[in-house]
Amino acid sequence: MFTGIPSGKSPSLAPQHMALIPPERLSEIQQHYMTELAAYVSNPGSLEIKDRRFSGKAWQSPWSKAIAGMYLLNAKHLMELAEAVETDAKSKQRILFSTLQMVDALSPSNFMATNPEVLEHIISSQGQSIQNGILNLLGDLKKGKVSQTDETAFEIGKNLATTEGAVVFRNHLFELIQYKPLTENVFERPFLMVPPCINKYYILDLQPDNSVVRYMVSQGHTVFLVSWKNPDKSMAKVTWDDYIGDGVIKAIEVTKEIGGLDQINLLGFCVGGTLVSNALAVLAARKQKPVASLTLLTTLLDFSDTGILDIFVDEDTVKLRENTIGGEQGQFGLMSGLDLGNTFSFLRPNDLVWNYVVENYLKGNSPPPFDLLYWNGDSTNLPGAMYCWYLRHTYLQNELVKPGKLKVCGEKVDLSLIDCPAYIYASHDDHIVPWHSGYRSTQILKGKNRFVLGASGHIAGVINPPAKNKRHYWVNAKLPAKAEDWLAGAKDIRGSWWPDYAEWLAQFGGKQVKASNSFGSAKYKKGIAAPGKYVKEKVDESS
């Protein structure tokens, strides 16, 4: 899921917006603020500070608590004013978002003079923390992003993406990896995984104890996985049709041929789910039914409600992208993976930006190693032509759910023609794919569907291995029209949703056969070992 921040399209709370607040509501907010302010000034202890930014011991002095308390009081007042503005839904969402960005940026924890923890670090380190912070800042300026983890601690193929396998096919868009079995017997039907093209595939194969790939192999599946190429400028004209035809459909064909069966099981994650659904609709229009089951993880098919990302999309923004990188004016370019990554970080600024500004620059600390954050920073570009098509026809015009509206690979797209069983997963706190929007896929796809709702967010909800026994998930066999009705009747289950999925997928695996240690086929030969070549490519964005 991706858009890019539009220039000048996210106004924070400004004087002209105050005129859009009903006078009686404005007076109410102001009176409430003055009452709370008077109570706080007369008794500073009356305001309970629960914000983790101010939870450290150094913040407990009267002066520091007063600074934090006044900030929180004013921040609350500003957000109440932004919420009270009466305007159209998108403008209001933009005002709220931008006001929150401003409020978070102005936190006293983000400034050396008003952060007592930073001052303690300076004294205890005899000023060394200042020097360290400057060096960290200079290093990040060169990279163009705030460091969130120790990037020297990880190497793809060494301690990330280590599940044993081999590349069995490669074209200009992707490598197809086949993984070595871990069980004596396997299901006869191959299992193909299509990750999002906006990130590297190894989110599904981080380390052995949190690898989706390894887990599915251990469950007896012969796993194939698409590793998308990180586009350079030579790929700027690659289209959405190319990603469908030369990408997903080709991967299905190769997996079927190697597996020797007419059908496979297919999984798509995030944008990968949108791609595979589009591909299956194209194949359905051709009277082909290549999959026995479909799995969608945190995927949008209906883009009528894209949550916070909606504020970044309008006709002007999309037209700007089309004119600069989409070929509308004869110019093709790339959507920068670095820019996309920074945009997504600012969707959760306190967790993914300001926390590291304080730790890395003000305190002079180095971030600890964290595999998921290393992956999060390993961004990929997107071809301008493909990106602009996707932005217009899904996020802006929501045409994927309109039968026959779109023509892809020469075929009219109708998602209702996809009638295989589908396992549809969403994450409850997902800020990129709102769970109720993910739920709408149950009403679009016409096969026998199962919907599962996991706890946590877009990535952490998905990467939740059973061994850690963390979080929980909801299940409900009934699929009413409204997501809220589904949740009201759902059962809350402790632990990971992975075993539930493994049990569901097993019924579509076919018979058990003896596992083979050979890779590929006579037509598609075994190539280099996993993780392959494409996942290691770093594009020089200055070239």
Ramachandran bin of 482, using left for φ above 0, alpha for ψ from -120 to 50, beta for the remaining angles? beta
Beta carbons of 200 and 166 less than 8 angstroms apart: no
Q: First-to-last CA distance in the chain?
A: 26
* Residue 303: closest CA among 399, 443, 239, 416: 399
Tokens of 482: 């409204």
pLDDT of residue 379: 87
Q: What is the C-alpha to C-alpha distance for residues 118 and 359, in angstroms, rounded to an integer? A: 9
pLDDT of residue 11: 57
CA triple 170-174-180, angle to 5 deg? 70
Q: What is the C-alpha to C-alpha distance for residues 225 and 209, in angstroms, rounded to an integer? A: 19
DSSP code, position 368: P
Amino acid in position 213 = V
Beta carbons of 340 and 383 less than 8 angstroms apart: no
257 C-beta neighbours (distance < 10 Å), count: 17
- Domain spans of the chain, in order of start: 15-121, 165-304+399-536
Domain 165-304+399-536: CATH class, spelled out: alpha beta
Residue 76, SS3 per DSSP: helix
Q: What is the C-alpha to C-alpha distance for residues 271 and 60, in angstroms, rounded to an integer? A: 45
pLDDT of residue 342: 87
Beta carbons of 350 and 54 less than 8 angstroms apart: no
Task: Catalogue the E-assigned strands of 188-284.
Answer: 191-194, 223-228, 264-269
Tokens of 164: 């044993």
Beta carbons of 163 and 148 less than 8 angstroms apart: no
Contacting residues for 511 by C-beta, under 8 A, at least 6 apart: 187, 188
Q: What is the C-alpha to C-alpha distance for residues 149 and 299, in angstroms, rounded to an integer? A: 27
Give pTM, 2 decimals.
Answer: 0.93
Q: Which of 197, 270, 409, 420 is catalytic?
A: 270
Backbone angles phi, psi at 185, to 5 degrees: -120, 150
* Residue 74: closest CA among 20, 16, 117, 32: 32
Amino acid in position 102 = M
pLDDT of residue 540: 60
pLDDT digits (tens), the chain, 543 positions? 444 444 444 456 666 777 789 999 999 999 999 999 999 888 877 778 889 999 999 999 999 999 999 999 999 999 999 999 999 888 899 999 999 999 999 999 999 999 999 999 999 999 999 999 999 999 999 989 999 999 999 999 999 999 999 999 999 999 999 999 999 999 999 999 999 999 999 999 999 999 999 999 999 999 999 999 999 999 999 999 999 999 999 999 999 999 999 999 999 999 999 999 999 999 999 999 999 999 999 999 999 999 889 999 999 999 999 999 999 988 999 999 888 888 888 888 999 899 999 999 999 999 999 999 999 999 899 999 999 999 999 999 999 999 999 999 999 999 999 999 999 999 999 999 999 999 999 999 999 999 999 999 999 999 999 999 999 999 999 999 999 999 999 999 999 999 999 999 999 999 999 999 899 999 999 999 999 999 999 866 444
Amino acid in position 64 = S
pLDDT of residue 54: 95
Backbone angles phi, psi at 14, to 5 degrees: -125, 165
Task: Catalogue the E-assigned strands of 109-242.
Answer: 165-170, 174-179, 185-187, 191-194, 223-228
Q: What is the C-alpha to C-alpha distance for residues 420 and 415, in angstroms, rounded to an integer? A: 11
Beta carbons of 411 and 421 less than 8 angstroms apart: no
Q: What is the largest CA-CA distance in the chain?
A: 82
pLDDT of residue 542: 47
pLDDT of residue 15: 67
Q: What is the C-alpha to C-alpha distance for residues 344 and 352, in angstroms, rounded to an integer? A: 9
Q: What is the C-alpha to C-alpha distance for residues 215 and 503, in angstroms, rounded to an integer? A: 13
Counts for the chain of helices (H) and strands (E), in that order: 20, 16
Residue 171, SS3 per DSSP: coil
| Known active-site residue 270 | yes
**Alpha-carbon 27 to chain mean position:** 41
- DSSP codes joined into one string, 438-461: HHTHHHH--S-EEEEEESS-TTTT
Contacting residues for 103 by C-beta, under 8 A, at least 6 apart: 75, 78, 79
